[in-house]
Amino acid sequence: MYLNDFSLSFTLILVIGWYLLQSIAYYKFFEKAGQPSWIGFVPFYNYYVHLQIIGRPVWWLFLLFVPVVNFFIALTIHLDLLKSFGRYSYKDQSLGVIFAPIYMVYIAFSSASYEGKATEMPKRVRTVGQEWFEAIVFAVFAATFIRWIFMEAYVIPTPSMERSLLVGDFLFVSKINYGPRTPKTPLQVPLTHAKIWGTEIPSYIEAIELPQFRLPSLGKVERNDVVVFNYPVNDTYNRRPDGDFHPLDLKTHYIKRCVAIPGDEIEVKTGQVYINGEKGTDPEMMQHKYFVETDQVIRDRVFSNYNIWEYGPAVTPEGKKGYVVLTTKSEAEQLVQLDFVKSAEPMFMNKENAEPRIFPNSTYFPWNADNFGPLTIPGRGFTIQVDEYTLAKYGSTIEDYEDLEDVVIEVDKLIIGGQEVSEYTFTKDYYFMMGDNRHNSEDSRYWGFVPEDNVVGEASFIWMSMDEKGSFLSKIRWNRLFNVIE
């Protein structure tokens, strides 16, 4: 379920409900602090009085409208209000954060009395250990919140997106572009993903699993967005040491480019992507496999000069000698200008050569990575008539990702909850993802659609890039720092 998809009336009820609870708490807090209680219901003015009561400067009111900064300001004045009413303990502060504004109403109508401005109250005598503990707890909480709501750092471990993204690129991924997801598995070691650092031990406990929501976003996934998502398939990448699989929000992270959105028809013809019958937009740095014909040995430094890192000697069935390289079209054309290179031709698979691993089912659809489709991407409201071929296309998606219980597929029959159905309407949006390194990418051509609830965020910019093959002084790729990802 997604807050983005709720009706306007529901969203208004949610916002108004929160505001009313906060205002009710203010009503009593202000009365106890000697202020007119009715101010608690007046927008903005109530924040002004709040700042006066706790002793913070009035100009902090403007900081409440600065993204990211407003979170820390709101948290500070929130805890200051508790302190002004004698609530100092870690328990009060934790409950005040987790259950606000409900807990604030409880405190406001309790026996707690106003003890003065929080900023003027004597500081508690704390040991060095307590000070360090509080600092660490705050730092972990702040980092966890930013990581959940706003941005998270990732590193590129594989070459599936080269040359757009290189192995060793460190990225910031925006969560707010598509809306942050609420945690499905809340009992987890902070600042970890699926495992505790350096071990195979799961970093979470499955005793509590919550329904997942997506908070309001700036937009939705669009074609050509570079997207980070949880790899949806339950296979080796998502398997735990005990043989079970990680929960959805803790599955392995993948990064690919979205080439097709719900309702699109995708087709690949000799390596070229077509969307709804028209040629798709090719990434600027898209790579394919090329055969570079030459009778000479090409040194590593030559390939390095042309930004080619994946290559190896090869001989064609016709006896031509050379190298198989992964590179862009423009750089393949530059290689041909070298005196010792005879030609550089792309290596596309023949349409007749079906790949056994191809999605959705090579028995019914004998496609390959270079000749794929046509295939329509399902989305909410997309309805199929159930038959042998539609189940071959969409049966695994219905069974694995539609959150249905007791699904049975029998060649041309779809049985849900013991009842055979003649048609099925999808309840989620799905996306088709491909790597820019088209001949070295495990993507939707092999394992299928990415459900909307697996989407983590949009790759924003590169903040650091490290070349593991570089020397001490040249490991950092300075020209890639702070590059925006397109």
Residue 283, pLDDT score: 95
Residue 294, pLDDT score: 95
CB 447 within 8 A of CB 432: no
**Residues of the chain by 3-state class (helix, strand, coil), percent to 5:** 30, 25, 45
Q: Which domains does the chain have, with CATH numbers?
A: 3-125 (no CATH), 128-264+457-486 (2.10.109.10), 288-346 (3.30.70.260)
Residue 11, pLDDT score: 63
Q: What are the two backbone dihedrals, phi and then psi, of residue 92, each rounded to the nearest 5 degrees? A: -65, -40
pTM of the predicted protein model: 0.82
What is the tens place of the pLDDT at every residue in 225-247?
A: 999 999 999 988 899 888 899 99
DSSP 421-445: ESEEE--S-EEEEE-SBTTS---HH
CB 266 within 8 A of CB 367: no
Please list the residues that pair with 414 across neighbouring strands. 409, 421
Q: What are the two backbone dihedrals, phi and then psi, of residue 469, each rounded to the nearest 5 degrees? A: -85, -10
Nearest-angstrom CA–CA distance, 65 and 61: 8
Q: What are the two backbone dihedrals, phi and then psi, of residue 230, each rounded to the nearest 5 degrees? A: -80, 120
Residue showing tokens 């950092």: 476
Nearest to 18 by CA among 111, 105, 76, 108: 105
Residue 311, pLDDT score: 94
Per-residue tokens: 228: 């980070």
**249 to 106, 150, 186, 327, 452: CA distances (angstroms):** 33, 16, 10, 34, 12
What is the tens place of the pLDDT at every residue in 319-341?
A: 999 999 999 999 999 999 999 99
pLDDT tens digits in sequence order for the chain, 486 residues long: 444 444 456 567 777 888 899 999 999 999 999 999 999 999 999 999 999 999 999 999 998 888 778 878 888 898 899 999 988 777 888 788 778 889 999 999 999 999 999 888 887 677 778 778 777 777 777 778 788 888 888 898 888 998 899 889 999 999 988 988 988 888 888 888 888 888 888 888 988 888 888 887 888 999 999 999 999 999 888 998 888 999 999 999 999 999 999 999 999 999 999 999 999 999 999 999 999 999 999 999 999 899 999 999 999 999 999 999 999 999 999 999 999 999 999 999 999 999 999 999 999 999 999 999 999 999 999 999 999 999 999 999 999 999 998 999 999 999 999 999 999 999 999 999 999 999 999 999 999 999 999 999 999 999 998 888 777 777 888 889 989 998
